Structure 1
Amino acid sequence: MIEAVGLSKHYGKTVAVDDLSFTVRSGRVTGFLGPNGAGKSTTMRMILGLDAPTAGTVRIDGKRYRELHQPLRTVGALLDAKWVHPNRSARAHLHWLARSNKISTSRVDEVLEIVGLTGVANRRAGGFSLGMSQRLGIAAALLGDPQVLLFDEPVNGLDPEGILWIRRFMHRLADEGRTVFVSSHLLSEMALTAQELVVIGRGKLIAQCSTDEFVAQATESTVTVRSPQADLLGSALRDQGGAVRAENGHLVVSGVDITEIGELAAAKGIVLHELSPQRGSLEEAFIQLTGDSVEYHAAVGDQTAAAASGADLMTAGK
């Protein structure tokens, strides 16, 4: 478990993190989201003892990072995939890390196999692509078989197969009871990966809840209805207090739940071809709830395009 209490970080007059408190539980994949400049990377650095908090505390399984004996056995992290001496091979880099924490060197070959780098283990890391570097960084995070794992933008540079692999791998780690904390600006991927969310903006906590709760509180749930008697059904739904609009040959209904729609159609003998619930996306919810915390806005003419592609265009908070 990771627990931050009143965590703050100031750089002169600049406040990067502001009285931030949250808990990352074990057995779940927790996504760490926020607009550019939100303070995510600074927070992760404070968790790992790389930056000292101005105020507050952050503990990993009840201890500060500097209090951990052989820390790679407790927490593994990927913050910068290119943090490897370019002239070292992947195997040599992992051997060096293993010796520093008294980890058996046999574990090196195990993690190389896990991340799919066995075939290039003796190549210089400086010649690796970004995707290969990400896999090496994940291998380093796994080296001590830790219970707590932090990943900052782990899918950058990965191809679709690699993205699917890391998603399933994180779920497997969480299913084993580990704490998995991951930041990403790819919100469509986070919607598939994270069960819980910690969302921050301008260094402050915006929300901590399940992914489903976050989407539900910020977006409108609707029901898609297709019927050859759409006009009759639409009129009946409006009489029930529902909001109805026609869209591409079907009705989009809000304010009336799906059960009521089905019962109303049955009572009036209206044929239904489709009755399906729809919910907003994580991108829509993110934009809705973090709009006041965005440090850099697109020009007015670009906002429609930005909204269409969602918050995937936003870079992660650094």
Structure 2
Amino acid sequence: MIQVRGLTKAYGPTKAVDNLTFDVRPGIVTGFLGPNGAGKSTTMRMILGLDNPTAGTATINGKKYAELKQPLRHVGALLDAKWVHPNRSARSHLRWMAATNGIPASRVDEVLELVGLSAVGKKKAGSFSLGMSQRLGLAATLLGDPEVLLFDEPVNGLDPEGIRWIRMFMQQLASEGRTVLVSSHMLSEMAQTAEHLVVIGKGQLIADTTVDEFVERASGATVKVRSPQADALRTALTSHGLTVREDGASTVESPSLLVVGTTTEAVGDIASQNRITLHELAAQRGSLEEAFMKLTGDSVEYHGVGVDTAGGVH
């Protein structure tokens, strides 16, 4: 488990991280989200002892990183995929890391096989594509078979098959009872990968919740209902104080409505009481991207100009 308590990092009058407190629990993938400049990388560096906090603590299974003996056996981290001497082969790089932590050399070939790099293990890392470098970085995180894993943008440079493989691999690691923390800007991918989210903005905690709760908090409860008696249904719903909007996908042949701030059960009960036929009744769920943009909008450090559909700016 990773425990962060009151973690703060100040550079002069500016706080890159401001009194953060959260836990990263084993057994699930936790997504670490925030706009650019939110303090995600700084937080991860403090967890790993690469930066010293101005205040607060970050511990791994109850200990600071510096207190861990043979830390690669406890923690694996991928913060920078290109942090490899370009003239070293993938195998030499991993053998050097293994030797520093008393890890058998045989483990090197095992992790190269796990990440699909066995065939290029003797090639210089400087010749690797970004996707191959990401796989080598992942191999390094797994070298000591650690209980805790941290990944910063692990899918950069990967093709769709590689992204899917990384997602399933991280979920497999979590299912084995490991603690997995993943920072990423690919929100559609995080929606499929993570179960829990820690969201920060301007160094402060915005949310520490499940993916479903985060999306629901932003989008609210909306129900889509389709009926050949749409007018009667609208009247019945509004008479119960519900807000009803037109569904953009509604057609004359198949009219549908969006009911805000309610549940499918409530809409179904009202329709039944009024003997109104329903052809569709479904809860509407927003996307993680929409929820993220709504809840972190005030925390974005830099805003670009708008672009209209004609290609102009405003």
**Same fold at TM > 0.5:** yes
In 1, Cα distance between equivalents of 2:304 and 2:242: 35
The answer as to whether partners of 2:221 and 2:263 remain within 8 angstroms in 1 is: no
How far does the alpha carbon of each residue in 1:108-147 deviate from its partner, in whole angstroms, 9 at most, with x for none? 1111111111111111111111111101100000000000
In 2, Cα distance between equivalents of 1:256 and 1:58: 41
**Aligned with 2:259 (options 238, 241, 253):** 253
CA gap of 1:67–1:108, structure 2 versus 1, over 3 A, is same
The AA in structure 1 aligned to 2:285 is: R
In 2, Cα distance between equivalents of 1:208 and 1:304: 36
**Aligned with 1:290 (options 261, 272, 296):** 296
Partner of 1:84: 84
Map residues 298-313 of structure 1 onto 2, 5 A cutoff. Answer: 298-299=304-305, 301-302=306-307
In 2, Cα distance between equivalents of 1:24 and 1:265: 44
Deviation at 1:304? 9.0
The answer as to whether partners of 2:221 and 2:262 remain within 8 angstroms in 1 is: no
In 2, Cα distance between equivalents of 1:303 and 1:155: 30
The answer as to whether partners of 2:28 and 2:195 remain within 8 angstroms in 1 is: yes
How far does the alpha carbon of each residue in 1:57-96 deviate from its partner, in whole angstroms, 9 at most, with x for none? 1111111111110000000000000001111111111111
Deviation at 1:264? 2.4
Partner of 2:270: 264
CA gap of 1:292–1:303, structure 2 versus 1, over 3 A, is farther
CA gap of 1:73–1:221, structure 2 versus 1, over 3 A, is same
Partner of 2:253: none
Partner of 1:121: 121
Structure 2 segments unaligned to the other structure (5+ residues) = 251-255
The answer as to whether partners of 2:47 and 2:59 remain within 8 angstroms in 1 is: yes
Do structure 1's residue 184 and structure 2's residue 213 form an aligned pair? no
Q: Provide the identity percentage.
A: 68
3-state SS of the aligned residue for 1:302? coil
How far does the alpha carbon of each residue in 1:192-218 deviate from its partner, in whole angstroms, 9 at most, with x for none? 111111111111111111111212222
Partner of 1:311: none
CA gap of 1:189–1:295, structure 2 versus 1, over 3 A, is same
In 2, Cα distance between equivalents of 1:143 and 1:303: 49
Partner of 2:5: 5
Deviation at 1:303? 8.6
Partner of 1:148: 148
Partner of 2:231: 231
Map residues 166-245 of structure 1 onto 2, 5 A cutoff. Answer: 166-245=166-245
The AA in structure 2 aligned to 1:192 is: Q
Coordinate RMSD, CA, aligned: 1.5
In 2, Cα distance between equivalents of 1:304 and 1:232: 37
The answer as to whether partners of 1:221 and 1:280 remain within 8 angstroms in 2 is: no
3-state SS of the aligned residue for 1:21? strand
The AA in structure 1 aligned to 2:128 is: F
Partner of 1:93: 93
Partner of 1:276: 282
The answer as to whether partners of 2:86 and 2:127 remain within 8 angstroms in 1 is: yes
In 2, Cα distance between equivalents of 1:199 and 1:264: 38
The answer as to whether partners of 2:16 and 2:38 remain within 8 angstroms in 1 is: yes
In 2, Cα distance between equivalents of 1:303 and 1:262: 40
The answer as to whether partners of 1:241 and 1:256 remain within 8 angstroms in 2 is: no
In 2, Cα distance between equivalents of 1:237 and 1:12: 56
In 2, Cα distance between equivalents of 1:175 and 1:193: 12
Structure 1 segments unaligned to the other structure (5+ residues) = 306-318
The AA in structure 2 aligned to 1:187 is: L
The AA in structure 2 aligned to 1:139 is: A
In 2, Cα distance between equivalents of 1:266 and 1:237: 12
3-state SS of the aligned residue for 1:170? helix
In terms of mean alpha carbon deviation, does 15-24 or 137-146 score higher? 15-24
How many aligned positions are there? 304
3-state SS of the aligned residue for 2:307? helix
